[in-house]
Structures are given as C-alpha cells and as structure tokens.
Amino acid sequence: MGEFNTRLAGRLSEARTVLTSLQHDATLTSGGIVKVPQLGTFDDAVKAEQAYTALYHQFEQRVQQLHNAITAAQKATTTIAANYHTTESLNAAQANEIKGALSTVPTALGEQP
C-alpha cells in the first residue's frame, strides 16, 4: 500500500501541475475564455477555433476528474493501510469493507453509482 500511495502522490502532483498550467495559462482571458489562434474568418477557421476551445475545456475537465479520482484513491488506500497493518489482517478483511473504502473513486471519475 505504501508503494502504491507513493505512486499516487507522484500522479497527483503531475495532475496538479497540469491543472495549474491550464487554469493560469496566458492563453485564457480574464473571464476564463480560451484565446484561440487567429485563424481568419473562413468557415473552416471559425470551426477550428470552436473545436480548439471545446477541446481545451474538455481536457481541463478530464484532468480535474483524474485529480479527484487520485485524491479519492489516495484517501481510500491510506484508510485501508491504517486499518490493516499486516497482510493477514488485510486478507481477513471483508471485501465489503475494502469496497466501501474505495467507493468514492468512481464518483470522483464522474461515473454514475
């Protein structure tokens, strides 16, 4: 569990870095609107600008979900490790207890319960 939590901490740090970059990047206006490259007024250029903006916000949302899921998994594994100090106690734990500890992960990913 300790090694897994160490890996989660690294991934959480990476997700935070990406989120910070996306949310505070100079490509955003003060209102949070993406400043897209000026591609012109051709129909294809306008569609490309719209697609760029949509993709930017979609990626930001997905990274936020990943961040939330890693945080939930980290909390769950910390709880499990604190409650079950030995392999024997972890093996003796009921599956429902462990499942309960991990129950917040799907919600953090945006999945329906």
In the chain, domain spans: 2-108
| Cα–Cα distance measured from residue 92 to residue 88, given in angstroms and rounded to the nearest whole number | 6
pLDDT at position 52 is 84
Q: Of the candidates 31, 36, 32, 37, which has an alpha carbon nearest to the alpha carbon of residue 22? A: 32
Q: Could you give phi then psi for residue 28, rounded to 5 degrees?
A: -100, 145
3-state secondary structure of 2: helix
Which residues are registered as beta bridge partners of 4? none
Which tokens go with 18?
Answer: 């990406």
Question: For each of the chain's 113 residues, which pLDDT tens digit applies?
Answer: 678 888 889 999 999 998 888 777 756 666 666 777 778 889 998 898 888 888 888 998 999 999 999 998 888 888 777 776 666 666 666 666 666 666 777 766 676 65
Q: Of the candidates 68, 72, 64, which has an alpha carbon nearest to the alpha carbon of residue 20? A: 64
pLDDT at position 92 is 65
